[in-house]
Each structure stands twice: as C-alpha cells, then as structure tokens.
C-alpha cells in the first residue's frame, strides 16, 4: 500500500477540525500526515497468498551484565547528512535490552525529533540480532534480591520509549535482521517502516516463561489478520521474514545480502517525506512467498481454533484438527500450549482480546500494570519459575502454580488487570501532548 502526499492531504482535509494532535510542537499538517501514514502501515490488510509480496523476544540468558549499565556504548549513533541511526550494541547478549539502553534511546529519539536538521531516524541491531528482548535473567535476579524498584524502572522506561515511537513526528525505520523478539519486537513495531530479511526471526514466547506478551504486544498482535495474534501470543511460535511481511508485521523485505545497499541508499537521503523513504525501500525490496508449510497458509483453520472463547476450547479445537489432519503446525502449537504456564495462557488471551479494542496508550498502561502484578509474586511466582527453568538452571521443567488450566481461577486472571495499590503509581504517558493513534 503506497501513500502519496496527495493521499495524505486528502485524508487531512476530511478529518474533523477538532481532532487532537498527538505530535508535540510541530506543524499541524505534518502531524496528521504521519498519523494517517503510520496507522495505514501498521494496519495493512493481510497480503493475498496468491500474489507475490514485496518488499525470537528471544529469552536471553545473559546475566553477566546488570539491568542497569551506565555505558553509552550500548547504543552507538551513526550520523548521516539528513538522518541518524541508533545501533543496539550489546552484541554478546543478542542486544538484550536493559534500562540504560532504553533510557539512552529515549533521550536520543527526543533530541532527534526536535532537531530540524534530521529528517528521519533508523534503528538496527549490531551482530546477528536486532534485539532478543528484555534481559529477563537480570529481572529475575533483581526480584530474587527483593529489588522491585529497578524492575519497575525498566518497565517504565521501555513503555515510555514505545509510546514515544508510536507518536513520533518523524519517519522512523527499523531494520529487523536476526532475532526480533518480545521487547525487541516492542521497540520496532511502532516504526513507520519495518524491514525484515531472510534471517529475521520474530516471536513473543513469554508464556513459556510464565509471563505475558508485553511491550505493546497486545496492541500490535491484536491488529493482525484474524486471530493470528492469539496464536502467536499463546504459543510463542516463530515467524520468518516472509511470514512477517505477509501478515503485516513487516512493511518491507530485503535479502540479507542487499541490506548494506538498503542502508547506503537510506543514508544518502535528505528528506522527512515518508513517501521518499518508502520508494527507496521499495527499490531494493524482494518478492517473497511464505513456504507452503507456513501457518500463514492455514489462516482459516487457525482462525477457527483461536477464535474460541477460552484457552480450554482453543486446545480442544486444535486437538480435533490435529486428529483429522495431523498437520505439523497443529501438533507444534499443542506442544507449546502444554509447555506454557496455564495462568499466563489465560492472562495473555484476555490481554490480546482487550487490546483489540484499545488505543496504543491504553494497551501500554494496562500492560505496565500487568507486568508489575506479574513480577510481584502476589498472584503467582510463575515468572521467576519460568526463567529459572528455561534460562538459569535450564532443567526445562518448570513447576507452574497453578499447575493446570482447571486450577486457574477467574479471580487470579482478573487480578493481573486490576489497578495497582495506592503506593504504586500507574504508568503516566504524555497523552495530552502526544495523542496515540488507534
């Protein structure tokens, strides 16, 4: 879907005159142009599988680096004539995100937005990952020490940065080569352009460590075609770059061998016009199809299973399909669902379903609340137990509490969504200055 300036201006002309701005201190027309353009890109329709398309949060076990690190070298800046690129540089940890990295990104992006000499910005990961997600082992260690305040700062910082990206005035590009998972996906999905490659691996596997897809996942997953969002959220299954493009998680696709050329051409641009950037990306895009074995080709069956009202009904529907077809995606999904935390499955399903009817800021505020409830240990200790089993002791035998779906009460699920205590402030976002798109 290509949007020209005349498309945007026509859309602006038809907008209500009292519509609030969600960009801060910039020209009215460009504000609304970017809002229309970003919304269209994020909510692109599901590409036809009959036509060509153009164009994991890996649960890192790196505990050697603390959640908070003062080194600016963790995010390196590359400057061009009309753009800036933030390079995630925690390479040995697959660019696992910590508070210092996110605080630096937040500061950089705010400064770049206010700099009239910068037309657009980019983000990429050093090494073989964009970002494998948040440093959950460091979170685990902090929780074990009773230091929930630093955990809170981490979530507050990443959610503030995601909101900034989701309301950003200037075009921004995310080059998603390699692992793009969980929090790593969270800081890339609000980008105007999201370029996947043949090496990109996307996943939101939080239920497998007793957590829920966060960092805006309930917003962007719920806006995917049909009930693909529920499938990805509950099972944690991976998608490759071609599948990301087909379902709208990526806006463009380029072979890894072309990525240096893509970057070179973008670096030569001096513009703040999204259509110019899109043209440049399109010039080096590749035609790709999801493989025949891809779940993308089973969307009708997937929708039938994952549109069910409860996790139990989803599993029953999958079991019926597996018995009839013996398809790999069905049996793999069932295996993942049975490995995941029962409580996390029910919490995640409710989160995606609520996100489908909420704005970005509403999703972030709710997810922040869910994160603090999840790490508090007052409802369940599943997050720490999941990290221990998968990433610390690596015995791969978590003891979930509750141990099965039938033991998960509705009160336990609802508690994740309940307001925080009077002593714990809710997430505050600058919604009056920066209005989020729907």
Q: Which residues are catalytic?
A: 134, 183, 206, 214
Residue 178's φ and ψ, nearest 5 degrees, are: 85, -160
Q: Which residues pair with 85 in a beta bridge?
A: 78, 122
For residues 178 and 39, the answer to whether their CB atoms sit within 8 Å is no
Q: Work out whether the CA dihedral 288, 291, 296, 299 comes out positive or negative.
A: positive
- Extract the tokens encoding 95: 């660019």
Residue 398's φ and ψ, nearest 5 degrees, are: -65, 145
DSSP secondary structure of 351-394:
HHHHHTTS-HHHHHHHHHHHHHHHHHSSS--HHHHHHIIIIIS-
- Extract the tokens encoding 413: 């699920």
CA atoms within a 13 Å half-sphere pointing along the CA-CB vector of 154: 29
For the stretch 74-80, contacts whose Cβ atoms lie closer than 8 Å and that sit 24 or more positions apart, written own/partner, are 74/98, 74/100, 74/101, 74/104, 75/101, 75/104, 75/105, 75/108, 76/126, 77/108, 80/267, 80/268
**Of 384, 315, 340, 412, residue with least CA distance to 143:** 384
- Extract the tokens encoding 199: 């090496």
CA atoms within a 13 Å half-sphere pointing along the CA-CB vector of 213: 35
**Of 157, 120, 110, residue with least CA distance to 37:** 120
CA atoms within a 13 Å half-sphere pointing along the CA-CB vector of 433: 10
Phi-psi region of 182 (alpha: psi -120 to 50; beta: other; left: phi over 0): left
Residues in the chain: 438
């Amino acid at each position: 879907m290509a949007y020209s300036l005349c498309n945007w201006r026509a859309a602006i002309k038809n907008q209500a005159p009292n519509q609030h701005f969600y960009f801060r201190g910039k020209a009215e027309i460009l504000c609304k142009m970017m809002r229309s353009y970003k919304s269209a890109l994020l909510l692109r329709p599901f590409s036809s599988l009959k036509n060509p398309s153009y164009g994991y949060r890996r649960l890192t076990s790196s505990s050697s680096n603390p959640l908070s690190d003062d080194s600016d070298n963790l995010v390196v800046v590359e400057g061009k004539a009309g753009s800036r690129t933030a390079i995630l540089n925690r390479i040995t940890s697959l660019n696992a995100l910590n508070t210092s990295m996110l605080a630096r990104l937040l500061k950089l992006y705010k400064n770049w937005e206010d700099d009239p000499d910068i037309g657009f910005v980019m983000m990429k990961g050093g090494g073989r990952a964009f970002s494998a997600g948040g440093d959950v082992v460091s979170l685990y260690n902090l929780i074990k020490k009773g230091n929930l305040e630093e955990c809170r700062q981490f979530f507050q910082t990443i959610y503030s940065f995601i909101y900034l990206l989701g309301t950003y005035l200037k075009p921004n590009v995310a080059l998603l080569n390699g692992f793009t998972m969980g929090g790593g996906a969270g800081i890339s999905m609000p980008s105007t352009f999201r370029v996947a490659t043949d090496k990109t691996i996307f996943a939101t596997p939080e239920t497998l460590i007793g957590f829920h897809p966060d960092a805006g996942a309930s917003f962007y997953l719920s806006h995917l075609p049909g009930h693909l969002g529920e499938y990805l959220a509950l099972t944690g299954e991976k998608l490759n770059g071609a599948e990301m493009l087909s379902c709208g998680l990526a806006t463009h696709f380029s072979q890894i061998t072309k990525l240096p050329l893509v970057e070179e051409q973008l670096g030569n641009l001096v513009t703040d016009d999204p259509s110019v950037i899109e043209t440049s990306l399109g010039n080096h895009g590749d035609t790709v199809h999801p493989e025949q074995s891809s779940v993308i080709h089973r969307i009708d069956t997937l929708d039938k299973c994952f549109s069910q009202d409860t996790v139990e009904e989803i599993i029953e529907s999958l079991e019926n399909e597996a018995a009839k077809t013996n398809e790999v995606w069905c049996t793999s999904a069932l295996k993942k669902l049975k490995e995941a935390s029962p409580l996390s499955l029910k919490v995640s399903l409710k989160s995606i379903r609520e996100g489908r009817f909420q704005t970005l800021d509403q999703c972030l505020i709710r997810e922040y609340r869910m994160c603090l409830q999840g790490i508090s240990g007052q409802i369940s200790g599943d997050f720490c137990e999941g990290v221990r089993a998968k990433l610390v002791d690596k015995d791969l035998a978590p003891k979930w509490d509750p141990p099965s779906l039938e033991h998960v009460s509705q009160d336990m699920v609802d508690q994740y969504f309940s307001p925080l205590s009077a002593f714990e402030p809710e997430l505050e976002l600058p919604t009056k200055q920066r209005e989020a798109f729907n």
